[in-house]
């Protein structure tokens, strides 16, 4: 196994070299596979629920690492996504969540479009970083729906997708506003004077 | 109510001891085994200890045997008869085969003179040309001639010997005929030789009896206790435990796995036991040393397991094929951290069964590892024993029901024992952990959790009612001998000889070595003014343990010797008489 | 076995416990946990019928983060504990988990013999090319020139090739996954569990604290260019020449799993006495 060109680094100092940034991801699913409105709803709902669960997990991780501010922010985002999921059901007059196959929806490559990547976290990250992650998630969600609005075969699905894309567009705008109100990261946001401490 | 050993064990009545020796390919062990089985068939008691050189095959070999009309648990101080098919390298056995002027030494004149180290004792000497006689019978073997001679000398009927030969001969009809003729020829010669002490004719067939080794008994005790999973790595002198268990545990619906090493063995049985199946491994000193980390895991995670340690000469590789009692230290205090566990020591070949069965019961009842300290002498000696009484307990684990409300695996209880959830049971899944943990099993570095769990694991052992099985206590007097394991036989016989001379002394043979129960030992030694501690190791591990963790009354002396030579009854007798005179 | 047949199979979230992982934010193991939970859900397992067995290290913390039965044992011995558990309880699904140090260094011998023995269990190794828990020493899969306190200038040692060794030692299913694709990883873990015999899934799982450059792994991994094979020779050539970033099932054999029969007695305890009776 060759090493590739990874830069060498001294272990033990806890000084990673990169700002966590949301990265581009491939489109998760082929649009023509959505055969009817129920299936589309199941995907949309799952997308929100998985996003909520993921933000919750990220909140827990940040809470365990004593980064309360970011934990609270992720917790808020989780609640927002959960709300979106519930709204989706209400809007479609369906009070019961769709039945999913065992193991959940199979997204084509990777995870749901709105699901944040846990690899993006850093224990010293600041709210600005978290919002950048959220912004990327919302943009992907918007793009996901825009794709269906364009390419879905059924008119009803295209209509629903148009509405959801608009929703997500609104979310994008809100997060952009939120970002403007949030201080950018400190110059030495990563710095931790203490060395790592093992526990096992 | 405990099962008492058969009366008169190692006490009254004469015995005869003989040693059969020869070098590679001579078939000394085969002859010895046939002789022992013939003795068993004739209603005698007896035992056979094997000794051999380091070669896998072809090495010098000695069968050390003793017969009596009553149960015997140890070798005698001397041998009445020494027979050598040849004398190659048999001088190496000199220390193990003490003979004197009253002994009879028989050799083949064509195989050279006996070693000087034997000759110097001035024993009576006789010649039997084994090789020549065997050659005279087509397909005949010298060891079968020797077998006939030995049988005649000790007074075993030739016909009984021949019936055992018929049963065991694997070489085919012609070989069998030759073997039987050889026995006849040897028997006839034996009757012309000088007389040796005879075993009195035993009374009719009484209680049922077994022919068994300690290793086999330990295996049987394990499955009787409920063990159905064994993982182990072969090691001298333990391998026979596994050889007996492999088909047995499978026939009982369990499995035995030969692991890649002792680290795998101990961890495999912990995994199986976590899954709810009583599990056991068997090893010797070096293997036990490798297992110590995982033993601590079983203590911390409260997973029941049994480890049989068949002790041998140490330290390190030591003397693999010889007995010693030098693993006491590692068994009672060899784990890192405060890690209480149970240590049980069988004190005779037959006791290996009940002790191992008890060990499984204790492990399961208290969810703790139990070490069974057997040794090479007990493990590999084949003996005629009274069939051990059935003991009623089998392992019983306290198990959690499904969906127990607020289930906490390591909940603090009065007894220290908390119900264990068995995988497959819904609603009570937990993670077992070697990390210190809280009641729910979640890792914790908090002081109160550590204190509570340490106390729980100690309390559950201390508060258990071990009953009368913790020790065998015999006799009265203000002199007591405290010992454990294979020394018990010799101590018992030494005490019996002393009693014949009017010297009264108590025997305390401890079966439960850990946890220490100082109050019970103090009670057993009430009124005692002199305590002799007997053990087979160099540094006095048992003596030190008793002094550290128990209260011993009056004056305490240590009589000890490391392996490979066993402690002999007369040595104990002399220690007692000398001390009582002082 | 549960008689609650009416209830739907548990969703992935049902396999995650309430205990919050202590893994560093950004650690690949979070995604592995997600993948494991998803795999169990895909297979419609129930938590009480699954046991997750681990050793020591960051990845080995995973059992308590699931709602399954868990066994957090000592360093390097998880495969032994898992083997004993599975042989004694063939009805359970046994997943053995750990890191590259636990599995390939101290656990190396048990790794060889687990592949050889081919008991029906699945072994996942969260490989981050470092000893994370003890603060950043090289592991057997660390590059020879990686500088560290214990090996300044690098170890200079050739890396351990776990997939090649697994194949040579007899593993029946060999795959490489990447934590950055949790659904793909879930699929491979599910297939591994479904495949009888010893299934080995090496999961590249970055350590953001001691190997932050591993955040670049997502640029380096690629789907394996060829479908999996059941020909060990072909698999050997592919695996021994790959650069460690081919993701997918690489080998799937047909070896019959090792499982002594448990639970059916052919003799009674008292029958065994006959061997001793005189």
B209 strand-pairing partners: B386
Q: What is the residue-averaged pLDDT of chain C?
A: 94
- C56 located within any domain: yes
Residue B550 within a domain: yes
Asked if A193 is an interface residue toward chain C (Cβ–Cβ < 8 A), one would say no
Per DSSP bridges, beta strands B479-483 and B530-535 are parallel
Q: Report yes or no on A186 lying in a domain.
A: no
Alpha carbon distance B162, B140 (integer Å): 14
A42: domain range?
33-181
Contacts of A127 in chain C (CB under 8 A): none
CA–CA separation, B212 vs B380, rounded Å?
A: 9
Please give the pLDDT value at position C3.
45
CATH number at residue A46: 1.20.1260.10
When comparing pLDDT for C76 and B7, which is higher?
C76
How far apart, in whole angstroms, are the C-alpha atoms of residue A23 and residue B76?
85
Q: Domain containing B486: what range?
A: 469-581
Is the CB of residue B280 less than 8 Å away from at least one CB of chain C?
Answer: no
- Nearest Cα to Cα of residue B51 among B581, B505, B565: B565
Say what the pLDDT of residue B13 is.
78
Q: Which domain CATH number covers C74?
A: 3.40.50.970
Which A positions 99-128 lie with beta carbon below 8 A of chain C? 100, 102-104, 106-107, 109-111, 117-123, 125
Residues of the domain holding C191: 18-275
Per-residue pLDDT band at B2 (split at 50, 70, 90): very low
Interchain contact B228–C (C-beta under 8 A)? yes
Report yes or no: B181 and B137 within 8 Å, Cβ to Cβ. Answer: yes
Assign residue A57 a region (left: φ > 0; alpha: ψ between -120 and 50; beta: otherwise). Answer: alpha
A40 found inside a domain: yes
pLDDT value for B204: 62
* Statement to judge: residues B329 and B180 lie in one domain: no
Q: Are residues B412 and B529 in the same domain?
A: no
Nearest by CB: C109 against B257, B261, B275: B261
Q: Using an 8 Å Cβ cutoff, are B73 and B49 in contact?
A: no
State the pLDDT at residue A91.
Answer: 80
Whether residues A12 and C210 touch (CB distance < 8 A) is answered with yes
Name the residue among C47, C80, C275 with its Cβ closest to that of B268.
C80
Q: Hey, are the CB atoms on A61 and C30 less than 8 Å from each other?
A: yes
- Out of C67, C265, C273, name the one closest to residue B251 (CB): C265
Within a domain: C151: yes
B12 pLDDT tier (thresholds 50, 70, 90)? low
Region B383-390 average pLDDT: 94
Give the count of domains, chain C. 1
Domain count, chain A: 1
Same domain, B52 and B182: yes
Q: Is B2 in CB contact (< 8 Å) with chain C?
A: no
The arithmetic mean of pLDDT across residues B39-58, rounded, is: 88
How many CB pairs below 8 Å do chains B and C form together? Answer: 188
Rounded Cα gap, residues B70 and A10, in angstroms:
76
**CA C233 – CA C224 distance, rounded (Å):** 17
Q: Residues B457, B304: contact at Cβ < 8 Å?
A: no
Contacts of residue A158, defined as CB under 8 A and 6 or more positions apart, other chains included, come to: A148, A149, A150, A152
| Minimum mean pLDDT range among B410-424, B518-532, C232-246 | C232-246
Residue numbers of B between 301 and 330 with CB closer than 8 Å to C: 301
Q: Which among B157, B190, B223 is the end of a domain?
A: B190
Closest Cβ–Cβ partner in C25, C130, C180 for A122: C25
Cβ contact, residue pair C208, A16, below 8 Å: yes
**In-domain check, residue C6:** no
For B180-192, the pLDDT digits (tens) are 999 999 999 999 9
pLDDT of residue C44 exceeding 90, the answer is yes
Q: What is the mean pLDDT of residues C121-150?
A: 92
Distance set, CA C167 to CA C160, C192, C225, C235, C241 (Å): 13, 15, 19, 8, 14
Q: CA neighbours within 13 Å on the CB side: how many for B528?
A: 25
Q: Is the pLDDT of residue C86 over 60?
A: yes
Residue of C63, C81, C260 lying closest to B255 (CB–CB): C260
Q: Which of B251, B277, B430 sits opposite C69 (nearest CB)?
A: B430
Chain C interface test: which of A8, A11, A100 (most C C-beta within 10 Å): A11
Same domain, B476 and B460: no
Closest Cα in chain B, distance from residue C251 (Å): 25
Residue C46, token pair as written in the block: 């129930």
Average pLDDT, chain B: 93
Mean of pLDDT values over B438-464? 97
| Nearest Cα residue to C75 out of C110, C38, C115 | C110
Q: What is the pLDDT of residue A33?
A: 52
* Cβ neighbours of A130 in C, within 8 Å: none
Inter-chain CB pairs, A–C, below 8 Å: 149
Task: Tell whether A195 is covered by a domain.
Answer: no
Q: How many helices (H) and strands (E) does chain C have?
A: 8, 8
Chain C window 176-215: which residues touch B at a Cβ cutoff of 8 Å?
none
Q: Which two tokens stand for residue B503?
A: 């010297």
* Minimum mean pLDDT range among A17-26, B142-151, C208-217, C234-243: A17-26
Is residue C102 within a helix (H) or strand (E), and if so which, with residue range?
Answer: helix C100-104
Look at phi and psi of residue B450 and say left if phi exceeds 0, alpha if psi is from -120 to 50, else beta. Answer: alpha
DSSP C5-25: TTSPPPPGGGGB-SPPP-SPT
Instruction: Name the 3-class secondary structure at A166.
Output: helix
Evaluate whether residue C8 is within a structural domain.
no
Give me Rg for the CA atoms of chain C: 20
Return the pLDDT at B57: 75
Pick from C138, C183, C240 the residue to mutate for testing the A interface (most A CBs within 10 Å): C183
Least confident of A107-111, C14-18, C73-77, C201-205: A107-111
Per-residue pLDDT tens listing for chain A (200 residues): 333 333 333 333 333 334 444 444 544 544 555 557 888 888 999 999 999 999 999 999 999 999 999 999 999 999 999 999 998 888 876 667 888 888 888 887 789 999 999 999 999 999 999 999 999 999 999 999 999 999 988 898 899 899 889 989 999 999 999 999 999 999 889 888 887 876 66
pLDDT tens digits for range B485-516? 999 999 999 999 999 999 999 999 999 999 99
- Residues in chain A closer than 8 A to C41 (CB atoms): 102-104
Residue A15, pLDDT score: 36
Q: Categorize the per-residue pLDDT at C2 as very low, low, confident or very high, splitting at 50, 70 and 90.
A: very low
Residue B429 with chain C: CB contacts under 8 Å: 47-48, 67-70
Query: Do residue B250 and residue C109 have CB atoms under 8 angstroms apart?
Result: no
Number of separate domains in chain B: 4
Q: In chain C, what residues touch B352 (CB-CB under 8 Å)?
A: none
Give chains near B: 3+ CB pairs under 8 A.
Answer: C
**Residue-wise DSSP of B368-417:** -EEEEEEEHHHHH-EEEEEPPPP--------BPPTT-TT--TT---SSS-
* C264 at B interface, C-beta within 8 A: yes
pLDDT digits (tens, 9 = 90+) for B15-46: 999 999 998 678 899 999 999 999 999 999 99
> Which comes out higher in pLDDT, residue C186 or C150?
C186
Residue B342: phi and psi, rounded to 5, are -100, 140
The vertex-C24 CA angle with C20 and C25, nearest 5°, equals 85
Question: Cβ of A35 under 8 Å from any chain C Cβ?
Answer: no
Residues B299 and B359 grouped into a single domain:
yes
| Per-position DSSP letters for C160-199, written without gaps between them | P-HHHHHHHHT-SEEEEEETT-HHHHHHHHHHHHHSSS-E
Q: Which letter does DSSP use for residue B204 in this model?
A: S
Which of C8, C17, C26 is most worth mutating to test chain A (most A CB atoms within 10 A of its CB)? C26
In a domain, A173, yes or no: yes
Interchain CB contact of A179 with C (< 8 Å): no
- Which residue, of B449, B464, B479, is where some domain finishes? B464
Cβ distance of A121 and C26 shorter than 8 Å:
yes
Query: Rounded CA gap, B498 and B64, in Å?
Result: 25
Confidence of residue B395 (pLDDT cuts 50, 70, 90): low
Is B7 part of any domain? no
Q: In what order do the strands lie in the sheet with B382-386?
A: B124-127, B104-107, B81-84, B15-22, B61-68, B45-52, B382-386, B209-213
Nearest by CB to residue C74, choosing from B297, B428, B431, is B297
Q: What is the CATH number of the domain that holds B339?
A: 3.40.50.970
Interface TM-score (ipTM) > 0.90: no
Q: Is residue A57 part of a domain?
A: yes
Q: Are strands B530-535 and B555-560 parallel, antiparallel or unpaired?
A: parallel
* Minimum CA–CA partner of B224 in chain C: C269
Is B270 at the interface with chain C, CB within 8 A? yes
Is A7 within a domain? no
- Write phi, then psi, for C208 (nearest 5 degrees): -75, -15
Same domain, yes or no: B458 and B535: no
CB contact under 8 A, C30 and A118: yes
pLDDT at A99: 85
Distance from CA of A183 to the nearest CA of C (A): 22
* CB contact burial B67-88 (16+ within 10 A = b; e otherwise): bbbbbbbbbbbebbbbbbbbbb
- What is d(CA B573, CA B575) in angstroms, rounded to the nearest whole number? 5
Residue C78 maps to a domain: yes
Which chain A residues are within 8 Å of C144, Cβ to Cβ?
3
pLDDT at residue C172 above 60?
yes
Q: What is the C-alpha separation between B456 and B340, in angstroms, rounded?
A: 10
Q: Would you state the pLDDT for residue A5? A: 34
Compute the CA torsion angle B243, B64, B21, B241 (nearest 10 deg). 10
d(CA C35, CA B521): 58
Q: Residue C243: name the closest of A17, A10, A5, A109 by CA.
A: A5
Report percent pLDDT > 70 for chain B.
Answer: 97
Q: Are residues B222 and B349 in the same domain?
A: yes
Suggest the residue from B210, B252, B267, B279 to mutate for an interface test with chain C (most C CBs closer than 10 A). Answer: B267
C residues 101-120 lying closer than 8 A (beta carbon) to B? 109-110, 112-113
Residue A28 inside a domain? The answer is no
The predicted-structure confidence for B62-99, as pLDDT tens digits, reads as follows: 999 999 999 999 999 999 999 999 998 889 999 999 99
* Window from A47-56, A149-158, C15-24, C176-185 with minimum mean pLDDT: A149-158
Facing residue for B267 by CB, picked from C72, C80, C89: C80
Query: Is B221 in the same domain as B349?
Result: yes
Residue that is written with structure tokens 């454990």 in the block: B484
Query: What pLDDT is attached to residue C8?
Result: 84
Best mutation site among C21, C71, C103, C263 for testing chain B: the one with the most B CBs within 10 Å?
C71
Residue A2 lies in a domain: no
pLDDT for B120-178, tens place per residue? 999 999 999 999 999 999 988 999 999 999 999 999 999 999 999 999 877 677 789 99
Nearest to B61 by CA among B321, B237, B377, B239: B321
């Amino acid at each position: 196994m060759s090493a590739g060109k990874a830069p060498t680094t001294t272990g033990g100092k806890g000084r990673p070299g990169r700002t966590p940034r949301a990265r581009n991801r491939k489109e998760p699913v082929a649009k023509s596979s959505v055969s009817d409105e129920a299936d589309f709803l199941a995907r949309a709902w799952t997308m929100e629920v998985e996003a909520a669960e993921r933000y919750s997990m990220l909140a827990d991780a940040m809470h365990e690492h004593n980064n309360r501010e970011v934990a609270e922010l992720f917790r808020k985002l989780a609640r927002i996504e959960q709300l979106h999921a519930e709204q989706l059901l209400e809007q479609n007059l369906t009070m019961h969540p769709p039945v999913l196959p065992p193991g959940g929806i199979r997204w084509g490559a990777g995870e749901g479009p709105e699901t944040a990547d846990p690899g993006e976290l850093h224990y010293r990250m600041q709210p600005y970083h978290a919002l950048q992650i959220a912004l990327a998630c919302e943009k992907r969600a918007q793009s996901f729906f825009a794709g269906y609005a364009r390419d879905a075969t059924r008119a009803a699905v295209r209509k629903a997708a148009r509405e959801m894309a608009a929703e997500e567009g609104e979310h994008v705008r809100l997060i952009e506003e939120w970002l403007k109100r949030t201080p950018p990261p400190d110059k030495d946001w990563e710095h931790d004077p203490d060395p790592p401490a093992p526990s096992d | 109510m405990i099962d008492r050993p058969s009366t008169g064990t190692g006490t009254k009545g004469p015995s005869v001891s003989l040693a059969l020796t020869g070098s590679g390919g001579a078939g000394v062990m085969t002859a010895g085994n046939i002789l022992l089985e013939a003795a068993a068939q004739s209603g005698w008691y007896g035992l056979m200890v094997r000794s051999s050189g380091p070669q896998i095959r072809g090495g010098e070999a000695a069968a050390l045997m003793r017969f009596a009309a009553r149960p015997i648990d140890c070798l005698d101080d001397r041998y009445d008869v020494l027979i050598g098919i040849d004398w190659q390298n048999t001088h190496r056995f000199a220390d193990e085969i003490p003979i004197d002027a009253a002994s009879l030494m028989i050799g083949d004149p064509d195989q050279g003179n006996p070693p000087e180290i034997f000759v110097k004792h001035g024993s009576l000497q006789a010649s039997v040309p084994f090789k020549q006689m065997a050659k005279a019978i087509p397909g005949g073997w010298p060891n079968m001639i020797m077998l006939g001679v030995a049988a005649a000398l000790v007074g075993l009927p030739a016909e009984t010997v021949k019936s055992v030969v018929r049963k065991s001969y694997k070489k085919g009809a012609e070989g069998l005929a030759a073997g039987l003729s050889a026995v006849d020829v040897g028997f006839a010669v034996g009757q012309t030789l000088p007389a040796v002490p005879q075993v009195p004719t035993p009374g009719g067939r009484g209680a049922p009896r077994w022919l068994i080794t300690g290793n086999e008994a330990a295996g049987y005790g394990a499955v009787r206790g409920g063990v159905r999973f064994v993982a182990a790595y072969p090691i001298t002198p333990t391998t026979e435990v596994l050889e007996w268990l492999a088909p047995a545990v499978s026939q009982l619906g369990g499995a035995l796995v030969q692991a890649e090493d002792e680290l795998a063995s101990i961890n495999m049985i912990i995994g199986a036991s976590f899954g709810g199946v009583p599990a056991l491994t068997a090893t010797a000193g070096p293997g036990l040393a490798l297992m110590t980390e995982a033993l601590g895991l079983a203590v911390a995670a409260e997973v029941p397991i049994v480890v049989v340690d068949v002790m041998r000469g140490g330290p390190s590789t030591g003397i693999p094929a010889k007995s010693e009692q030098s693993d006491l230290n590692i068994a009672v205090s060899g784990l890192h951290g405060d890690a209480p566990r149970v240590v049980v020591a069988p004190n005779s070949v037959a006791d290996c069964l009940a002790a191992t069965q008890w060990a499984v019961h204790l492990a399961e009842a208290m969810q703790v590892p139990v070490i069974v300290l057997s040794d090479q002498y007990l493990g590999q000696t084949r003996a005629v024993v009274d069939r051990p009484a059935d003991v009623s307990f089998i392992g019983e684990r306290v198990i959690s029901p499904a969906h127990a409300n607020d289930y906490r695996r390591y909940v603090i209880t009065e007894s220290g024992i908390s119900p264990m959830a068995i995988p497959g049971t819904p609603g009570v899944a937990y993670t077992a952990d070697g990390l210190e943990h809280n009641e729910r099993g979640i890792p914790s570095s908090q002081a109160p959790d550590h204190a509570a769990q340490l106390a729980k694991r100690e309390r559950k052992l201390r508060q258990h009612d071990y009953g009368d099985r913790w020790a065998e206590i015999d006799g009265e007097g203000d002199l007591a001998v405290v010992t454990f394991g294979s020394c018990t036989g010799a101590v018992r016989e030494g005490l019996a000889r002393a009693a014949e001379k009017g010297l009264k002394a108590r025997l305390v043979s401890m079966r439960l070595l850990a946890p220490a129960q100082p109050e019970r030992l103090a009670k057993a030694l009430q009124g005692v003014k002199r305590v002799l501690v007997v053990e087979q190791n160099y540094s006095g591990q048992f003596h030190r343990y008793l002094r550290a963790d128990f209260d011993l009354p009056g004056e305490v002396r240590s009589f000890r010797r490391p392996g490979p030579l066993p402690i002999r009854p007369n040595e104990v007798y002399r220690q007692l008489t000398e001390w009582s005179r002082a | 076995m549960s008689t609650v047949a009416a209830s739907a199979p548990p969703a992935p979230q049902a396999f995650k416990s309430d205990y919050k992982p202590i893994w560093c934010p950004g650690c690949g193991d979070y995604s592995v946990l997600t993948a494991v939970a998803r795999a169990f859900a895909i297979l419609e397992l129930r938590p009480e019928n699954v046991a997750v067995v681990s050793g020591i290290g960051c990845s080995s913390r995973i059992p308590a983060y699931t709602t399954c039965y868990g066994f957090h044992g000592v360093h390097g011995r998880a495969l032994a504990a898992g083997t004993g558990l599975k042989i004694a309880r063939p009805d359970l699904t046994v997943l053995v988990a750990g890191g590259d140090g636990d599995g390939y260094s101290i656990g190396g011998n048990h790794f060889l013999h687990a592949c050889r023995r081919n008991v029906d269990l699945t072994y996942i190794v969260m490989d981050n090319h470092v000893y994370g828990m003890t603060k950043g020493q090289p592991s057997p899969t660390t590059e020879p020139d990686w500088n560290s306190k214990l090996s300044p200038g690098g170890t200079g040692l050739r890396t351990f090739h776990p997939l090649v060794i697994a194949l040579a030692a007899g593993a029946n299913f060999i795959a490489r996954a990447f934590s950055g694709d949790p659904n793909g990883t879930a699929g491979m873990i599910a297939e591994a569990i479904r495949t009888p015999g010893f299934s080995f899934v090496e999961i590249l799982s970055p350590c953001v604290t001691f190997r932050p450059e591993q955040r670049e792994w997502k640029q380096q991994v690629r789907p394996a260019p060829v479908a999996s094979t059941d020909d060990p020779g072909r698999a050997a050539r592919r695996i021994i020449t790959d650069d460690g970033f081919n993701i997918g099932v690489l080998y799937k054999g047909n070896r019959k799993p090792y499982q002594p029969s448990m639970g059916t007695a052919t003799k009674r305890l008292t029958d065994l006495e006959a061997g001793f009776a005189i």
